[in-house]
Amino acid sequence: MGSATKALSELGLTALHGADVQITGISVDSRQIKPGHLFAAMPGVKMHGAEFVPYALRMQAAAVLTDREGAEIAREALAGTDIALVVTEDPRQALAFAAALWFGAQPETMIAVTGTNGKTSVASFTRQIWQLLDFEAANIGTTGVEGAFSAPSAHTTPEPVTLHRLLADMAAAGVTHAAMEASSHGLAQRRLDGVRLAAAGFTNFTQDHLDYHATFDEYFAAKAGLFTRVLPEDGVAVLNIDDPRGVELSKYVTARGQRLIAIGHADWADLRLLGQRYDATGQDVRFSWEGRPFMTRLPLIGGFQAMNVLTAAALVIACGADPEAVFAVLPRLGTVRGRMQLAATRENGATVFVDYAHTPDAVETALKALRPHVMGRLVAIVGAGGDRDRTKRPLMGRAAAENADLVIVTDDNPRTEDPASIRAAVLDGAGPEATEIGDRAEAILRGVDALGPGDALLIAGKGHESGQIIGTDVYPFDDAEQASVAVAALDGKI
C-alpha cells in the first residue's frame, strides 16, 4: 500500500478527540492489519467488524473507523487506549472516500454501469469503443480487468481499498479511460463512492439477488444510488427508457440537473433504436441520434446486444467523443467473452455459442435471442450449479425445452452436491425428450455432433468460467475451448 503515511485529516476523517494521527495503510479485514493501519470496522451481514477491535489493537492499528454501533461494541476494548476513533453515520462511504484519497490517482475519464443484466457487456463495449478511438482504456467487472490493463478480480465491483489500489495502478500504467460495473451489492455497500464518474449507465431491472436485498424496491434503491449519490451533478446519465425503472430514474436525474441521454424505442429517446434485422453472423441496426438516422452492422448475436451497444456508445459520447466517430467504429466491436460468444463453426456452417445464462429467465432470453439468427434447429445444453438455488433447476430445464428443439442436460459446477440429483431436477422441467449426459465435455461433443447445416448450439451456464467445480476441487474446463475441440474432432481436423 505504499510506504508513505497520511494523516487522518488528509483522508477526510476526523477522530473523536481530535487526534490527527498518521496512518500507514487501510484494512477492512482485521487479518490484514499492519502496524499503523486504519482499521475500517464495518457493520456486516454476519457480524460487526468492531468485534475485531481487540485483535486490531494487538496488531498495532493506529486508528479505527466505524459507526455508532461499532463504537459501542468496541467501547470496553478501546477504554484506556490512545487509538484514534472515527465514528460516522455512513462508515462505508467514509471508507470509500478515504481509500480514494489514500491511493490518489484514478484514470481521468471513468464511467460506471448498473442494471440486472448487461453490465459486463456494456462495460466491455464501452472499453472497446474507446480503444477503437485510440484511447488507453480498460473495463473492470465480473470477467476481471480487460483491455489496456489486465488483472483478475474476485468481485464484480471490488471493495474500496482493492478498487482504488487497482485504479491507481491503472492510472500509473497510462490508462486514461475506464468503464466499471456497479453491482447492487457494490452500490449498497458504497464501494464505488470514491470514484470520480463522468457518466453512468442503466441497462434494465428485473428480479435478482433477493437473498441480499430485503425487497424489490430496496434492490432498485441500491441501483438508483448510482445516479442520486455517486454520479456528480455535472455527470451525464445514460438511461434505458424502454424499462419503466429507467423512466423513473430519468425524473431523479432531471431533478438533480444532470444531463440525460435517453436510449430506447420511444420517440423521446435521444439515441433511438429504430429497427433490427438478424442473420447468421450478426445484425443490421437502424437508429437515430438527436433525430438523425444512422445504419450500422453489428457482428453480435442477440437482439439485446443492440441496446447494450447503444448504451456504451452513449456513455462514450457523454464523455466527450464525437458521435459520428463513435458510430463509425461499431461494426468493429467484438463479442464479450462468454456472452453469446460464437465459439466455433462447423464445416457445414452450423454454429456453436457459449453464454453465461444461469437462471430460467436468462436461458429463455438467450435462446429466444438466438432463434432469429438460426435457419435450422436450435440445440441447448443446460445444467444447474450445486449448492445454489434449487428452485431454479426445473425452471431452467423447462425454459430450455420450451425454447430449443433439442435439449441435453449436463453438469455445471455440482460442487458438494450429488450431480445426478441436480440433473434429475433439471430433467424434471426439461421433460422426457431431453437427453442426460453428465460429463460436460461429452455433452458438448454430442451436441455438436447433432448439428446439421443451418443449426446452432447454445451451451448455457458457464460463459467465461474456466473450471468445473466438483466437490471442492476445480478442474480446468472452458466451454468455448471444448466446443472448438469437438468441432475439430467431428470435422476430421484432429
Ligand X SMILES: Nc1ncnc2c1ncn2[C@@H]1O[C@H](COP(=O)(O)OP(=O)(O)OP(=O)(O)O)[C@@H](O)[C@H]1O
Ligand Y SMILES: N[C@H](CCC[C@H](N)C(=O)O)C(=O)O
Asked if 152 touches ligand UAG (CB under 6 A), the answer is no
Asked if 128 touches ligand X (CB under 6 A), the answer is no
Instruction: Name residues contacting ligand X, limited to 318-337 (CB under 6 A).
Output: none
Pairwise CA distance, residues 48 & 73, whole Å: 8
Asked if 366 touches ligand X (CB under 6 A), the answer is yes
Q: Which is nearer to ligand X, 258 or 308 (CB)?
A: 308
Q: Which of 117, 131, 296, 413 binds ligand X (CB under 6 A)?
A: 117
Pairwise CA distance, residues 305 & 301, whole Å: 7
What SS3 class is residue 403?
helix
Q: Which stretch binds ligand UAG (CB under 6 A): 41-49, 352-360, 365-373, 408-416?
A: 41-49
Asked if 117 touches ligand UAG (CB under 6 A), the answer is no
What SS3 class is residue 460?
strand
Instruction: Name residues contacting ligand X, limited to 432-471 (CB under 6 A).
Output: none
Q: Which of 17, 46, 150, 234 binds ligand UAG (CB under 6 A)?
A: 46
Half-sphere exposure of 27 (CA within 13 A, CB side): 23
Which residues partner with 469 through β-bridges? 474
Site string for ligand UAG, 465-484 (x = CB under 6 A): --------------------
| Binding residues with ligand UAG: total (CB under 6 A) | 19
Asked if 304 touches ligand X (CB under 6 A), the answer is yes
Asked if 151 touches ligand UAG (CB under 6 A), the answer is no
What SS3 class is residue 30?
helix
Amino acid at 163: L
Q: Which of 30, 120, 240, 482 binds ligand UAG (CB under 6 A)?
A: 30
Q: In what order do the strands lie in the sheet with 236-240?
A: 144-147, 137-141, 177-181, 109-114, 199-202, 236-240, 259-264, 271-279, 282-289, 292-298
Asked if 120 touches ligand X (CB under 6 A), the answer is yes
Asked if 37 touches ligand X (CB under 6 A), the answer is no
Q: Which is nearer to ligand X, 118 or 385 (CB)?
A: 118
Note whether 203 and 307 are within 8 A (CB): yes
Q: Which is nearer to ligand X, 73 or 340 (CB)?
A: 340
Q: Which stretch binds ligand UAG (CB under 6 A): 24-32, 121-129, 163-171, 357-365?
A: 24-32
Asked if 339 touches ligand X (CB under 6 A), the answer is yes
Note whether 309 and 300 are within 8 A (CB): yes
Q: Which is nearer to Mg ion, 208 or 248 (CB)?
A: 208
Pairwise CA distance, residues 399 & 420, whole Å: 20
* Closest alpha carbon to 11 in 82, 103, 112, 130: 103
- Cell numbers for 322, please give them: 464525437
Cα–Cα distances (Å) from 82 to 63, 153, 192, 311, 400, in that order, read 9, 37, 31, 51, 62
Amino acid at 383: G
Note whether 40 and 71 are within 8 A (CB): no
CB of 218 to ligand Y, least distance (A): 21
DSSP-derived secondary structure for 188-204: HTTTTTTS--SEEEE--
CB of 142 to ligand X, least distance (A): 4
Instruction: Name residues contacting ligand X, limited to 168-187 (CB under 6 A).
Output: 181
Residue pointed to by grid coordinates 455459442 = 353
Pairwise CA distance, residues 39 & 52, whole Å: 9
CB of 377 to ligand Y, least distance (A): 25
Q: Which is nearer to ligand Y, 279 or 389 (CB)?
A: 389
Instruction: Name residues contacting ligand UAG, limited to 197-236 (CB under 6 A).
Output: 212
Write out the residues near ligand X by the rule CB under 6 A. 117-121, 142, 156, 181, 203-204, 304, 307-308, 339, 355-357, 362, 365-366
Write out the residues near Mg ion by the rule CB under 5 A. 119-120, 142
Write out the residues near ligand UAG by the rule CB under 6 A. 28-31, 42, 44-47, 49, 52, 155-157, 159, 183, 185-186, 212
